[in-house]
Structures are given as structure tokens and as C-alpha cells.
Amino acid sequence: MGAEEEEEEEEEEEEEKGEGEEEEEDEEKDAATKDPAAGDELEEIETLLEKAKFYTSLCMGTTAILSVFAFLFLIPFIIDPAISTILADYQQEPVTCVATEHVYSEGLSNCTWASCREGCTTAALRCHQIRVNYSLVTFDNWTKLNTPVEEIDWFVNDTKFFINTEGCGYPPRVNCSVFAKKYGYKNLGTPFPCYYSKNYPEMVVARYSWDDNLRWMILSLIIPNLLFGISIGVLSYWYCPRCNQEEPDIDTASFVEKFPPPKDEDMEDYDTNEY
């Protein structure tokens, strides 16, 4: 009996605490309604939060849209050339090259290929066509040995020479006039460093960097997609009707009331042989 009385006392104390908390909440609500200044402050805070949410949503929506366009823009200008460069598998160390021919042409019929083009989306109306010989001897070793050009054992002769994998680019990074003066004209026959493709031996370029190529490709893939994912995730969390809904608690008490467990007497009368 003592244990039952203690349990009843504890239950009464918990009920009194709950009633006390409810009274305090009611008093706070009454104070807020009685004090117009406090009510106005709450309304101002809610208004500011709504405005902040609206402008943040607007910025995130704009960011998501711009990220899509940026990614589509980067595909032909950075991602695709980077993948082509990786597939070409260029020699890491520059080898020795010598320009053997330099032709400056004008017109579509004459510019079927170009060593350098300023712009990758239009056909070249003016072009520089440079051909080179290259040896498997690295340029550093050649400078140390200072072997005469006539005695160099060339691996490939009279192959096309390009400024990069795509053979094109945009100013100021790509300037075809400067490129032609550096490797053609009066510099024909002067050795210079170049990079050849292991998978396509007839492909020779003037510029190549594995680190830069990989860095730009990773940044072009990660940044737009990351911004898009974060923006869409936050907007979905704020405005998706089912994202913020918590799973309702199942009321087991009403279920038990509707379907009470069988009594012992009923279990004794239950005959399993009928089934």
C-alpha cells in the first residue's frame, strides 16, 4: 500500500507541475496581448525573418539558374578540351622541336587547318600553318649537350604544330601573331621545347601542363554543381510541403480501446481444432 501511495503522490506532483507550466505560458501570452509594444516587436521580428527568407530564396534561385548556364558554358570551353588533353596523354617533359615550314594563308579554302586560331567557334579566315620535326630527346638534355640540329635524330618529321590541344583560344591568353613570331618566320630551324602525344604521335603542341589542366577541369565540374545542389537543397527544405512535416505519432490508446485484447475466459473457449 505504501508504494501505491507514493506513486499517487508522484503523479499528483507531476500534474501540479504541468498545470503550473501551462499557467505560466498563459500568463506570458496574456502579457504579450496586454503589452502592445511586445506584440509589435514580435511582429517586426517575424516580418524581418520573412523578408530575409524571401531575399535569400531569390538569391539562391538566381544562383541555381546561373550555375546551370555557367556549367553549360564551361563544357565546350574548358571541360571538353581538358578531357581531350587527358586522352591525348602528352609527354610530361618537353622534347626538342624545330619548325621546318611556316605558311600564312587567307580564305576558307586555304585554311583547312591552323596552328593557332583566335576563337574556337568560328572558321578561320586567316591562319598560320606551322610544321615541325621533333625528337624524343628532352629539351633540357639538348641544351646541356648542345647537339647541332643536323645531327639530331628526329622521331617524326613535318607534322602539324598547334598552340594547344584544340589549336585555338581567346585573347589575351592566345595571340596568334605573337605565336607565329615566336615559332615561325625568322625562327625556323631554331630548336624549342614542345610536347607530343603518346596516343597520337603526330600531335604536337606548344603549351601543356597536367596540373593546370586537371585543376581547371575539377573546378569547372565542382563549383557550378555544388552551388546548384546547395541552392536547390535549401529551397526544397524551405518550400517542399512534405520536407518539414514530422511523422505523426500513432495513437495506440484508441486502437486498444477499439480492439481490446481477449480475456482469459475467451481464450479457454477458443478451439484451435476448428481450423
So where are the chain's domains?
55-89+209-240, 91-207
- pLDDT class for 173, splitting at 50, 70, 90? confident
What backbone phi and psi angles, to 5 degrees, belong to 266?
-70, -35
Stronger pLDDT, 15 or 140, i.e. the higher one:
140
Name the pTM for this structure. Answer: 0.65
- By C-alpha distance, which of 8, 208, 205 is closest to 97? 205
- By C-alpha distance, which of 264, 224, 272 is closest to 78? 224
Q: Residue 214 pLDDT more than 70? A: yes
Q: Residue 208 pLDDT more than 60? A: yes
The confidence score (pLDDT) of residue 184 equals 87
Average pLDDT over residues 153-169: 91
Q: How far apart are CA 118 and CA 171, in angstroms?
A: 7
Q: How far apart are CA 79 and CA 85, in angstroms?
A: 10
Stronger pLDDT, 45 or 178, i.e. the higher one:
178
Q: Residue 211 pLDDT more than 70? A: yes
Stronger pLDDT, 207 or 150, i.e. the higher one:
207
